[in-house]
Amino acid sequence: MLEIKGLNQYYGGSHILKGVDLAVEQGTCACLMGRNGMGKTTLLKCLMGLVPIADGSITFQGREISRLRPQQRARMGIGYVPQGREIFPQLTVEENLRVPLAGKRSRGIPERIFELFPVLKEMARRRGGDLSGGQQQQLAIGRALVLQPEILLLDEPNEGIQPNIVRQIGEVIRMLNREEGLTILLVEQKLPFARATGDHFTLLNNGRAVASGAMSQLSDELIQEHMTV
């Protein structure tokens, strides 16, 4: 469903992503892992069209998307939950959820979002900035689901969040993937969460995809070599 081949990306003169290959099969959850600064966030930004790539290809459902604008990719069915959530603090929860619907007056917020995250209904009129970190993360995921994407890109959804909310968010992500068939590409540093959620892993080290396979093949040696600091 999503395939990256030979992707190179630079920030100025710094070569960040070096010939990355990655494939995410329909209906699976792929985990992108690796130490801080290895290029995971940059890779998601390349997929979303938020930073330009130097060369390589990105195909989504058989179509080359690497020259499309971010909004076009979102309309094609790519949802994105950025690192740090990036919700609008001055807008209400409901207004945040309406952002992806701009220009589509006939469409409303799918009721499913509030079933998945009841707290968003309770807090619909509160400002985004007044929510806790965990609630903001639920809002960011809810907002990414408003256009009913085919694939969801999640950048460290558990960073800086209380354990009970991490559990709730984990349950929702696994349910969306396993019961509703939503394809997921998850950037995740926490091993137990990645193991409980992902079908496949890819390890990034210094901008290169150095290992990948079924999650059951993620060995202690690989973790030692590419994850521990």
Minimum gap (Å) between residue 120 Cβ and ligand ATP? 26
Minimum gap (Å) between residue 222 Cβ and ligand ATP? 16
The token pair at 128 is 């985004």
Closest by CA to 188, choosing from 83, 68, 72, 116, is 83
Q: What is d(CA 75, CA 28) in angstroms, rounded to the nearest whole number?
A: 21
Q: Any contact of residue 9 with ligand ATP (CB under 6 A)?
A: no
Q: Any contact of residue 157 with ligand ATP (CB under 6 A)?
A: no
Residue written as token pair 């973790």: 223
Q: What is d(CA 156, CA 166) in angstroms, rounded to the nearest whole number?
A: 11
Of residues 39, 49, 142, 198, which one binds ligand ATP by CB under 6 A?
39
Q: Provide φ and ψ at 116, rounded to 5°.
A: -70, -40
Minimum gap (Å) between residue 186 Cβ and ligand ATP? 13
Closer residue to ligand ATP in complex, CB, 28/83: 83
Q: Any contact of residue 40 with ligand ATP (CB under 6 A)?
A: yes
Q: Any contact of residue 16 with ligand ATP (CB under 6 A)?
A: yes
List beta partners, residue 60.
Answer: 2, 63
Q: Any contact of residue 37 with ligand ATP (CB under 6 A)?
A: yes
Q: Torsion-angle region of residue 86: left (phi > 0), alpha (psi -120 to 50) or beta?
A: left
Cα 17 to its chain centre, rounded Å, is: 18
The span of 29-37, 73-81, 161-169, 219-227 binding ligand ATP (CB under 6 A) equals 29-37
Residues 67-106 that bind ligand ATP (CB under 6 A): 83
- Residues binding ligand ATP (CB under 6 A): 11, 14, 16, 34, 36-42, 83
